[in-house]
Chain A
């Protein structure tokens, strides 16, 4: 009798765990299945590669948003960083001026610098991250426009353009490899490194982390700087892909990135989340908009659908966690 209760609990607990942890995978699978039936063009190698190509840049940025959210923070400046880093990188990417490494470093370091600023102000100034990054988001947009006098940076070198437009073996977009590499790296950082543990501890309970001897400020600052670097990389790749450094690029990317993280199970209150979840979250958004495109649904509807999915995902997540 006692045994049966225990095993019942076990089974129910298992289902609850599987659902809360893998529900998003199931959702992606089901949506993929529906779209495969609805459109003959969905489940083709070309289309799948296309989806992966399109998800890569936003996915890289979303990995940054994920670690910021896990640490108990929030980064609204990612889209602005995309623009600043994109024009800064592109500025050094005219043909015959600098070796390719220069624009790459400039883009990434610009992003890291803005992220560092976010982190220092949040950690040392004790100002809520929402306010700080709202500020850098606004200022960053202005900075991007100022840097190029409101113009676009054009005339980019072939090497720079090929950075995001090469197809490996003539078929697989190189962006997918960038995305995969970043995911692998940050999966490793969050699950296999001491620093990763520290991010979860700080986000889960900052006071407890401090009293346990962690340098909370340094951890937060590093996390924002890393997220900035990832947004910078994203901006650089976007400039390469679109063959232009645009000061208005990346508008709304910060929200798409946060949406991907949150749909993937990252908590907006910190301490919980996974890089793998964010990959799936980003894919889910992309697959849905790709599918709706194929079914000729106007993009206005797509936005509505995306918004509702964000709310639904968080609702499901809360339900599975706060069962009373």
Chain B
């Protein structure tokens, strides 16, 4: 199916203050192919694609499209060169309709006078939108506000927008990171038809299964350098991983058996009205409790309630057999609960501040003599954290925003480890981070369990749930639909409970 060369990027370099993000990187894309760009976080994938999409300027290097050199100095330039990017954080205008978003900046006008006055032809706008959406087989009401759509629908709208620009090159940055499995299937069907239409697709992803399903070729970057390009059918997973990390990772899930002790936390009939109901489970010291389920099953909401971010409508939370109230995070922290949140940027980190200030934030009291900071003690302790978690940062004074996703996640983890909680809640502990960092965080989780800590791990990644958990509770539409022990754990069993709520209370 793959045809002529669409795109050639040569010798692309880009420097950010303190980091060489890209060092003479090359990349090629053919018409009708899906070309995956892989690499650890911070390898330079997103930067390379942002240069292509006109969001960053390269320091050096050339971009050729259909054999002639182009310059993309703004997203507008890139669009007119036939390049569209579907962003990881979708960039729609939330309070405008689907139609207005698709035709933003090129709205059809009503006649000549309408054009002069800037009066939009609303019926044509609507009709054009319907035809664009149906051309990719999507039915969404053009009048809906973007803010009313699900992530998957917004993505479809973005893709429709890209096709309406007649873009020959479509960049998708981790398109499946926030959508359900069924929606992933629809996306793949759509990608197939875009391919058949002769477009080239650059696909950034960390998910191996997906990559092998969808792609024709794979290019690996590491530390801002080009490593290799291979036909997907010709390369094994282990080889890919090795190329990405530059070393062999023998075990992504280094689970070590831990001594499982008494029940530390018990939840009885916990309910937040309209969100989840009658949730009951317990977790023991030394145990890793996996919480599985599909997107929107209510898992994050349950753990947020345990940590005092949300207030329960009814139900009980017991710690060491005694009922406790969790009215605020501060109180939960005092009771020995830690919370590595799903969302690093919104609630995990103070991105503007340094690694040091973030790591010491929860446990700041222990680095103080009275109200005064003991900066020496703080520096020493944060330095130890950076070393033991192998956080890649030029110094503890580096602003967290400048770190890669995996290293940012390690900063969040480091912060909670310093607080030394008895129960650590981890919501998607390895989302969007690379294989190497993943393995390190998994190793760490195992170590914590061995030290007798109880772990609640919410995860959407099946291999992670299966690989790490001693026991798994599965949620579906706001309730627990089943519980599985490690020895009975299988992907099928979990998926069954996560999707089929009729099974609840049945054979288990």
Contacts and interface: CB of A to CB of B under 8 A. Distances in A.
A208 B349 CA distance: 6
Contacts, number: 96
A271 B350 CA distance: 8
Interface string B307-338: 10100000000000000000011101110000
A210 B18 contact: no
A207 B353 contact: no
A324 B59 CA distance: 11
B357 interface: yes
B138 interface: no
Given A211-B329, A212-B329, A272 B372 contact: no
Interface stretch (A157-165, A174-182, A187-195, A239-247): A187-195
A208 B364 contact: no
Interface stretch (A198-206, A224-232, A288-296, A304-312): A198-206
A209 interface: yes
A323 B352 contact: no
B373 A211 contact: no
A9 interface: yes
B361 interface: yes
B347 A207 contact: yes
Interface string A256-287: 00000000000100011000000000000000
Interface in B154-190: none
A266 to B, nearest CB: 12
B353 A271 contact: yes
Interface string B245-273: 00000000000000000000000000000
Interface residues of B, number: 40
A205 B351 contact: yes
A13 interface: yes
What band does the interface of chain A fall in when counting residues whose beta carbon is under 8 Å from B? 20 to 34
A9 B20 CA distance: 7
A197 interface: yes
Nearest to A6: B20
Contacts of A197: 357, 360-361, 364, 373
A244 B31 CA distance: 80
A192 B368 CA distance: 9
B17 A200 contact: no
Contacts of A324: 55-57
A231 to B, nearest CB: 24
A81 to B, nearest CB: 26
B23 interface: yes
B375 to A, nearest CB: 8
Contact of B19 (A9, A196, A198, A272): A9
17 contacts: A13-B18, A17-B17, A193-B371, A193-B373, A194-B368, A194-B372, A197-B357, A197-B361, A200-B350, A204-B350, A209-B361, A210-B328, A210-B347, A211-B341, A211-B347, A267-B352, A272-B352
Given A192-B372, A213-B330, 10 more contacts: A9-B19, A194-B368, A194-B371, A194-B372, A205-B351, A207-B346, A208-B349, A210-B328, A211-B341, A213-B362
